[in-house]
């Protein structure tokens, strides 16, 4: 059984657990549970889980269990939270669903699943956005508003007329929501964008 499971099983019911090795004894504590913890195959220790109302949880740092616990958490953290690109962060907002709706209405024709059917080197994947200097929300907003090359502009005041879409224009606030959505999807690797038109 993993060390973290044993520690949780042994002491999760105690409000202020103190983990001490069997070679130490502190007066004034009631022994709640005894467990043998096996870390490295060459190391086995018996641990007493004790509580006392005046003891703070942070005092557990003085025992031998904290360093393996911290090491385990640090070692496992990349598995739980894959690193993002330098300087990027994922922000989930109430407008995420709205951003998906706007994307499905205005962008999905050319940029299905973050790709680009017109110009393959100009996808909405993070590596292409970075290579093309369009990896910030501000730059995504600017290109969506005014257009660039084969990409038409969708802003209400987009000019020159030939660079702008002939379809419906988007309001400033809608383009901001859309830019945030595109950046978040790019950071996450464009997970499946569901068609929300029927929702």
Which pairs with CB-CB distance under 8 Å and at least 24 residues apart come from 115-118? 118/150
pLDDT tens-digit series, residues 60-83: 444 444 556 555 555 555 444 444
Q: What is the mean pLDDT of residues 15-22?
A: 43
The residue extents of the domains of the chain are: 3-80, 96-188
CA distances 74 to 5, 41, 68, 71, Å, are 16, 20, 10, 5
List, in sequence order, every residue forming a beta bridge with 21; answer none if it has no partner: 47
Q: In the block, which residue shows the tokens 């910030």?
A: 136
The verdict on whether omega for the bond into residue 160 sits within 30 degrees of 0, i.e. cis, is yes
List, in sequence order, every residue forming a beta bridge with 37; answer none if it has no partner: 45
In this predicted structure, which of 6-10, 95-99, 105-109, 154-158 has the lowest mean pLDDT?
Answer: 6-10
Q: What CA–CA distance (Å, rounded) separates 102 from 53?
A: 55
pLDDT of residue 68: 63
96-188 adopts what CATH topology? Cytochrome Bc1 Complex; Chain D, domain 2 (1.10.760)
Query: What is the pTM assigned to this prediction?
Result: 0.51
Q: What is the mean pLDDT of residues 121-141?
A: 95
% of the chain with per-residue pLDDT over 90: 40
3-state helix/strand/coil string of 19-82: EEECCCCCCCCEEEEEEEEECCCCCEEEEEEEECCCCCHHHHHHCCCHHHHHHHHHHHHHHHCC
Q: What is the mean pLDDT of residues 187-192?
A: 86
Name the average pLDDT for the chain.
Answer: 69
CA distances 80 to 4, 74, 139, Å, are 15, 10, 30
Contacts of 61 (CB under 8 A, 6+ apart): none
């Amino acid at each position: 059984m993993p060390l973290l499971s044993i520690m949780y099983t042994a002491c999760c019911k105690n409000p202020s657990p103190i983990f001490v090795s069997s070679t130490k004894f502190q007066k004034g504590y009631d022994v709640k549970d005894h467990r043998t913890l096996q870390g490295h195959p060459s190391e086995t220790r018996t641990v007493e889980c004790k509580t006392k109302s005046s003891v703070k949880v942070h005092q557990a740092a003085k025992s031998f269990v904290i360093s393996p616990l911290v090491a385990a958490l640090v070692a496992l953290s990349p598995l739980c939270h894959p690193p993002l690109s330098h300087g990027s962060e994922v922000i989930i907002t109430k407008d995420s669903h709205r951003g998906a709706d706007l994307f499905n209405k205005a962008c999905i024709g050319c940029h299905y699943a973050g790709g680009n059917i017109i110009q393959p080197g100009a996808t909405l994947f993070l590596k292409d956005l970075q290579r093309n200097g369009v990896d910030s929300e501000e730059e995504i907003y600017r290109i969506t508003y005014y257009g660039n090359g084969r990409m038409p502009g969708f802003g209400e005041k987009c000019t020159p007329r030939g660079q702008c879409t002939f379809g419906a224009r988007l309001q400033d606030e809608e383009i901001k929501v859309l830019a945030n959505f595109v950046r978040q999807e790019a950071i996450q690797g464009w997970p499946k964008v569901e068609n929300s038109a029927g929702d």
